[in-house]
Amino acid sequence: MWGCLVLFSMLALPQLLGVLVYFRLRRFHNSLAHAVGFLLSPTLFFYLAILFWVYLPSKADPDRTCGTAQAFALLSVYFLTAVSMIGSLIFQLVLHGRKLE
């Protein structure tokens, strides 16, 4: 249960930040706001996931010689970064379709 909550929060927080950055930047330039809102989410997720799933577990147990768990964590990071990119694209397309006031 706790692992699912951590996974969901690591996926949701960058998406929320990307949408909030879009609303903050849209008054300056709409295309710039979409680009930054789209790119910020997967980038932030990638670095947070590398930190929490690859780097910190390897520092906590430096005597581990088998790299299978780290390889699986790295593949999970890549896959979930792609999921985050798709989610970010969907959110930005929904924001683009909204009528601006």
pLDDT per position as a tens digit, 68-90: 888 898 999 999 999 999 999 99
Q: Residues in the chain, how many?
A: 101
Tokens 């706001």, located at residue:
33
CA 56/CA 81 separation, integer angstroms: 18
Give the residue, 48 or 60, on which the prediction is more confident.
48
Distances in whole angstroms, Cα of residue 87 to Cα of each of 29, 62, 76, 81: 22, 35, 16, 10
Contact 7, 81 (CB under 8 A): no
pLDDT of 56 over the 90 cut: no
If one counts every other C-beta atom within 10 angstroms of the C-beta of residue 62, the result is: 6
Query: Do the Cβ atoms of 12 and 83 come closer than 8 Å?
Result: no
